[in-house]
Amino acid sequence: MTTTYTVLLSGDADAWEGADDAARAETYAAHGRFAAALAERGHTIVGGAELTHPRGARALRRRGDGVVRTDGPYAETAEQLTGFYLVASDDLEDLLACAELLLDGDGGIEVRAARTATDGEA
């Protein structure tokens, strides 16, 4: 059965912002290799995006009966969500093997199945 997985990419947004053209080119090349490996192995990218720096985020939190809006990321950490892919796949283990192509530096990857309305829990 095909499942849609969210591939969450995390890393140091400040380091990325300060990266030189060669480092950025290598990172984008790794994403190209990832996309090619997915296509060759029967996985389908159905969505995704690189995210802007977390300093541009707006966070919402419920406080009592009201809502508090703040500028900046939800969590103050060095490692932030930097992008994501949505991938339709029949083979999670192979998807994980493909995702290893994106590992570099200290960044991490988290893969989770996305819930759908047909899961019985919307």
Instruction: Give residue-wise pLDDT tens across range 29-52.
Output: 999 999 999 999 999 999 999 999
How many independent structural domains does the chain possess? 1
Whether residue 121 lies inside any domain: the answer is no
Confidence (pTM): 0.86
Confidence of residue 66 (pLDDT cuts 50, 70, 90): very high
**Tokens 């960044």 belong to which residue?**
107
Q: What is the pLDDT of residue 112?
A: 97
Residues spanned by the domain of 8: 3-116
Using a pLDDT cut of 90, give the percent of the chain over it.
Answer: 74
Distances (CA, A) of 53 to 11, 31, 69, 96: 11, 19, 18, 26
Q: 30 in a domain, yes or no?
A: yes
pLDDT confidence tier of residue 122, bands split at 50, 70 and 90 = very low
What average pLDDT does the segment 80-102 reach?
96
The answer as to whether 60 is a domain residue is yes
- Tokens 């380091």 belong to which residue? 15
Residue 108 belongs to some domain of the structure: yes
Sign of the torsion angle spanned by Cα atoms 109, 107, 84, 33: negative
Residue 102 near residue 33 (C-beta atoms within 8 A):
no
Asked whether residue 86 is assigned to any structural domain, the reply reads: yes
122 lies in some domain: no
Structural domain includes residue 37: yes
The pLDDT assigned to 107 comes to: 79
Distance in angstroms (rounded) separating the CA atoms of residues 115 and 5: 9
